[in-house]
Amino acid sequence: SDLQYEGIDYMFKIVMIGDSGVGKSQLLNRFVRNEFHLKSKATIGVEFLTKTVLMDHKLVKAQIWDTAGQERYQAITTAYYRGATGALLTYDITKRHTFNHIEKWLDELHNHTDKNIVVMLVGNKSDLSSNREVPIEEAEEFAKQKGLFFLETSALDSHNVEPAFLGLLSQIYMTVG
Ligand code: GDP
Ligand code: MG
């Protein structure tokens, strides 16, 4: 449509956070390019990817930052977080320790960003639910207590990937709009 050639109304910076191996890069790959790779490289090769969506008759451009694997060494820099209005905080439903680290990620996030940042908690790899170590009810309860939005996703089969990103963007849109 002609809308593509009109100006962007809003630009939101989103940061992907969570332990190494939970599927951050593949969630982003799925959302932006509709691709998935089982042998994921450590990095998608760029600092961020963008995707523009139409929301309430406004063009919203998401600038989504992915790590280059720094999370493995707890070396995510202040620049990564600067100006972020939303975070997609991911754990792996088949790895309990990645869920146990969510609290630490929230602390890190709140040390580096505005306290009103919108957070979508994502339990990824829902396609592997036969190996589940984190019950969905437990994650729902945790999210409720912390005031986070929550969905289980699969970057592999696409389950809930769009709702996770679009839900995050629409919540940010509602806080600024
Ligand atoms: P990151 O370190 O958090 O960026 O994780 P990656 O996106 O690199 O993914 C780590 C590994 O998990 C890769 O082998 C991916 O192919 C795999 N992976 C990512 N998302 C999913 C998913 O939803 N389901 C399954 N089964 N594997 C996934
Ligand atoms: Mg990655």
pLDDT by residue for the chain (177 residues), tens digit each? 444 556 899 999 999 999 999 999 999 999 999 999 887 765 555 689 999 999 999 999 999 999 888 888 878 888 999 999 999 999 999 999 999 999 999 999 999 999 899 999 999 999 999 999 999 999 999 999 999 999 999 999 999 999 999 999 999 999 986
Considering only CA atoms, which residue is closest to atom 26 of ligand 1? 125
The distance in angstroms from the start CA to the end CA of the chain is 24
The residue whose two tokens read 């995707």 is 51
Instruction: Determine whether the shortest distance from the Cβ of 38 to ligand 1 is under 6 A.
Output: yes
Work out which ligand 1 atom sits closest to the CA atom of 90.
3
pLDDT at 44: 53
User: Residues 30, 161: contact at Cβ < 8 Å?
Assistant: yes
pLDDT at 1: 42
Instruction: Determine whether the shortest distance from the Cβ of 156 to ligand 1 is under 6 A.
Output: yes
Work out which ligand 1 atom sits closest to the CA atom of 71.
2
Instruction: Determine whether the shortest distance from the Cβ of 134 to ligand 1 is under 6 A.
Output: no
Phi, psi dihedrals of residue 88, rounded to the nearest 5°: -100, 105
